[in-house]
Amino acid sequence: MAGMIDVQDLRVSFHADGRSVHAVRGVSFSVAEGESFGIVGESGSGKSTVLKAIAGLVASESSTLAVHGRPIAQRRTKADRRQLQFVFQDPYASLHPRQTADQILREPLIIHGLDRHDARIAAALDEVGLKPEHRFRYPHQLSGGQRQRVAIARALILRPPILLLDEPTSALDVSVQAEILNLIARLKQANRLTIILVSHDLGVVAHLCNRIAIMQAGKLVEVLTAEELRNGGAREAYTRELVEASRGFTRAVAAL
Amino acid sequence: MTAPLLSVENLSVSYPGRSGVTKALREASFTLGHERLGVVGESGSGKSTMGRALLGLIPKPGVVTASRMDFDGQSLLGASDADWQKLRGRRLSMIMQDPKYSLNPVRRIGDQIVETCLLHLDISRREAERRALDMLEAVKIRQPDAVFQQYPHQLSGGMGQRAMIAMMLVAEPDLLIADEPTSALDVTVQNEVLRILDDLVRNRGMGLIFISHNLNIVSSFCDRVLIMYGGRILEQISARDLGAARHPYTRALLAAAPSLDAPRATLATVTRDPAWLE
Ligand SMILES: Nc1ncnc2c1ncn2[C@@H]1O[C@H](COP(=O)(O)OP(=O)(O)OP(=O)(O)O)[C@@H](O)[C@H]1O
Ligand SMILES: Nc1ncnc2c1ncn2[C@@H]1O[C@H](COP(=O)(O)OP(=O)(O)OP(=O)(O)O)[C@@H](O)[C@H]1O
Ligand SMILES: [Mg+2]
Ligand SMILES: [Mg+2]
């Protein structure tokens, strides 16, 4: 059965200075329409690169790489871009330093020919808990979490059917994070939104996702359900290590 | 009793703007010894602002005032640019919240760390290179010699964060402000980094201000915690007692975190009370 997103044997390598980095080494999964799929795993294991390949932002090889049954072209059409929105891991780098929040949110509305710009921008800011006073600020005049919320608002403002979220709440305090996660869950219910979420926070991933993939060194080590993750159903040692480490810092080990 | 490493009274920061003045920090007072002081609080509550003010890094037209800001017997209040140059990096250091933004995009990671070493420590280039590689290895970078040669955009989020940590720790500062230092790290690497910081506090007597959204880490890693809201320090409690915090904001924070062990359909949100700002 074809899913909303199909990935078979995905491989991505980077080449620079005569050195090659095999960032993704044969990853396969598929995400059904309306499903939320989580990816957690080691830092540098290729999670962001998988998302970028699905968005057509890096060159990749695969036997299948398709969204909605259509192969992903590196050069995407306007319609493709509207379908799929990306919240990048690094909000500072993904926001233009010389654009205010207002301009950042207005741009996609202009590109895709939507109406009622001012009302939509005001609503998008309100949705992510930003106030009117933040609307005309530049990224460097906002706090880390406020910047991240501008990036989330930009992704949501077009109401895309597919969202790729790379650590969307890592710069947010838990109270704002709860509001954003509830917002995403509401949109998911109302619009049959398909989501891939990358996060280091197992609580966040298990909250939003039905199935969760664990990545290490460019490969998926296992895919399990949120229930399995919660109830000690992990088969791989690395997954069990992650679950253990997520329970907090233990000085006992630190003293060794 | 010995004097604290840092003592701060009535530290305030405001940013004048077109639509009025933003009071980013309001009369913050606290002391720091050779300990791990956690800072938690709402997004926009002034945590990073407080850190930057302690390093003299508030950008113009921001205004900083305080009735006292003493670091190791020296007042930072009237510090000149030259004084700050001497303190920053060597004695006071900050791991910034946006690591990739703080790294120089057009210079190799290794060169940036080596340069920090040479600027602050009286050692040879060869020794600086050795220390830089050791530091990358200590923060669990898998291939330190490869990362040494790479540029910031070639690193993953968590690798960039660890490169930044390595750069700030290599000069062995006396006071470190770590602003969300582990937010891009997977939980096992995160614990390794916490171990390094823990070791510096316990064995080298460093003072650590640890800004984090992760209440789990703060309660298990820190000694004391400041809870911030709307530019103010709402309460200061021992980390052990975080679970029993009294302020309604702190209690609401504890209830809002999604937990692996106790799933909920909808997460509790915070109903903000204007009275918290009084
Ligand atoms: N543009 C690039 N040039 C060279 N190497 C790259 C580039 N982008 C990523 N890499 C490398 O690919 C590997 C995977 O990176 P990726 O960003 O996908 O990791 P990640 O799983 O998202 O990690 P993190 O959790 O730290 O964000 C890393 O070794 C990284 O250094
Ligand atoms: N240059 C500036 N001009 C105007 N306002 C600013 C400027 N820099 C920060 N602010 C405002 O000051 C307040 C405090 O910001 P700060 O970055 O200290 O928050 P924070 O507690 O670190 O938040 P976060 O957890 O989201 O990083 C925010 O409301 C922010 O919008
Ligand atoms: Mg990443
Ligand atoms: Mg901050």
CA B265 and chain centroid, separation: 33
Q: Which residues of B touch A188 (CB under 8 A)?
A: none
Q: Any idea what the Cα angle at residue A145 is, between residues A141 and A151, rounded to 5°? A: 85
Could you give the 3-state DSSP secondary structure of residue B26? strand
* CA nearest to B159, candidates B229, B84, B109, B104: B109
* CA distance to partner chain A, nearest, from residue B81 (Å): 22
The CB of A34 under 6 Å from ligand 1? The reply is: no
| A186-200, A213-227, B55-69, B244-258: range with lowest mean pLDDT | B244-258
Q: Which residues of A touch B229 (CB under 8 A)?
A: none
Query: Quick check: A43 and B259 CB within 8 A?
Result: no
* Residue A44, token pair as written in the block: 């540098």
Query: Quick check: A178 and B256 CB within 8 A?
Result: yes
What does DSSP assign to residue B239? G
Pair B71, B5: CB distance under 8 Å: yes
* CA nearest to A197, candidates A5, A91, A38: A38
Give pLDDT, residue A222. Answer: 96
Q: How far is the CA of B19 from the centre of ligand 1 (A)?
A: 41
Report the predicted TM-score, pTM, of the whole model to 2 decimal places.
0.93
Q: How far is the CA of B30 from the centre of ligand 2 (A)?
A: 20
Q: How far is the CA of A141 from the centre of ligand 4 (A)?
A: 11
Three-state SS for chain A is CCCCEEEEEEEEEEEECCEEEEEEEEEEEEECCCCEEEEEECCCCCHHHHHHHHCCCCCCECCEEEECCEECCCCCCHHHHHHEEEECCCHHHHCCCCCCHHHHHHHHHHHCCCCCHHHHHHHHHHHCCCCHHHCCCCHHHCCHHHHHHHHHHHHHCCCCCEEEEECCCCCCCHHHHHHHHHHHHHHHHHHCCEEEEECCCHHHHHHHCCEEEEEECCEEEEEEEHHHHHCCCCCCHHHHHHHHHCCCCCHHHHCC
What gap in Å lies between CA A237 and CA A14, rounded to an integer? 29
Q: Give the residue from chain B lying closest to A141, CA to CA.
A: B15
What gap in Å lies between CA B246 and CA B229, rounded to an integer? 14
Give pLDDT, residue B247. Answer: 87
Radius of gyration of chain B (CA): 19
Give pLDDT, residue B262. Answer: 81
- Spatial neighbors of A140 by CB under 8 A, at least 6 apart, are A97, B59
Give pLDDT, residue A46. Answer: 97
Pair A99, A138: CB distance under 8 Å: yes
Query: Quick check: A143 and B43 CB within 8 A?
Result: yes
Q: Which residues of B touch A43 (CB under 8 A)?
A: 156-159, 162, 184-186, 189
Percent above pLDDT 90 for chain B: 70
Which residue minimizes the CA distance to atom 2 of ligand 1?
Answer: B154
Is a pLDDT exceeding 70 seen at residue A2? Answer: no
Q: Which atom of ligand 2 is nearest to the CA of A140?
A: 1
> Which of A51, A89, A200 has the most B C-beta neighbours within 10 Å, making it the best mutation to test the interface with B?
A200
Could you give the 3-state DSSP secondary structure of residue B64? strand
Pair B203, B19: CB distance under 8 Å: no
Is a pLDDT exceeding 80 seen at residue B230? Answer: yes
Query: Quick check: A176 and B43 CB within 8 A?
Result: yes
Q: Give the full edge-to-edge strand order of the sheet including A84-87.
A: A84-87, A162-166, A194-198, A36-41, A211-216, A219-225
Sign of CA dihedral A149, A154, A158, A162: negative
Q: Give the residue from chain A lying closest to B191, CA to CA.
A: A249
* Residue B31, token pair as written in the block: 């002391």
Pair A14, A20: CB distance under 8 Å: yes
- Of the two residues B19 and B211, the one the predictor is more confident about is B211
Q: What is the mean pLDDT of residues A31-41?
A: 96
Give pLDDT, residue A256. Answer: 33
pLDDT class for B72, splitting at 50, 70, 90?
Answer: very high
Is a pLDDT exceeding 50 seen at residue A255? Answer: no
* Secondary structure element (H or E) that encloses residue B28, with its range: strand B20-32
Which region holds residue A157: left if phi is over 0, alpha if psi is between -120 and 50, else beta?
Answer: alpha
* CA nearest to A167, candidates A48, A35, A49: A48
Pair B32, B209: CB distance under 8 Å: yes
What gap in Å lies between CA B62 and CA B52, rounded to an integer? 11
What does DSSP assign to residue B154? G
> Which of A166, A188, A216, A249 has the most B C-beta neighbours within 10 Å, making it the best mutation to test the interface with B?
A249
What gap in Å lies between CA B135 and CA A71, rounded to an integer? 43
Average pLDDT in chain B: 92
The pLDDT tens digits of the residues spanning A187-224 come to: 888 888 999 999 999 999 999 999 999 999 999 999 99
* Secondary structure element (H or E) that encloses residue B277, with its range: none
Q: Identify residue B222 by its one-letter amino acid code.
A: C
* CA nearest to A126, candidates A161, A90, A150: A150
* CA distance to partner chain B, nearest, from residue A70 (Å): 29
| A225-239, B68-82, B263-277: range with lowest mean pLDDT | B263-277
> Which of B40, B136, B186, B269 has the most A C-beta neighbours within 10 Å, making it the best mutation to test the interface with A?
B186
ipTM, 2 dp = 0.89
Q: What is the CB-side half-sphere exposure of residue B70 using CA atoms within 13 A?
A: 12
Q: What is the mean pLDDT of residues A114-139?
A: 95
Which residue minimizes the CA distance to atom 3 of ligand 2?
Answer: A141
Average pLDDT in chain A: 91
From residue A67, alpha-carbon distances to A49, A133, A194, B40 in Å are: 16, 38, 11, 40
Query: Quick check: A174 and B257 CB within 8 A?
Result: yes
Query: Quick check: A136 and B18 CB within 8 A?
Result: yes
Give pLDDT, residue B122. Answer: 92
Q: Which domains does chain A have, with CATH numbers?
A: 5-255 (3.40.50.300)
pLDDT class for B258, splitting at 50, 70, 90?
Answer: confident
Percent above pLDDT 70 for chain B: 99
The pLDDT tens digits of the residues spanning A43-83 come to: 999 999 999 999 999 999 999 999 988 888 766 788 888 88
Query: Quick check: A43 and B158 CB within 8 A?
Result: yes
* Residue B34, token pair as written in the block: 């050779």
The pLDDT tens digits of the residues spanning B95-153 come to: 998 877 788 989 999 999 999 999 999 999 999 999 999 999 999 898 999 999 999 99
Phi, psi of A181 (to 5 degrees): -65, -40
Q: Give the residue from chain A lying closest to B200, CA to CA.
A: A254
Scan for tokens 């200590």, then name that residue: B138
Give pLDDT, residue A253. Answer: 46
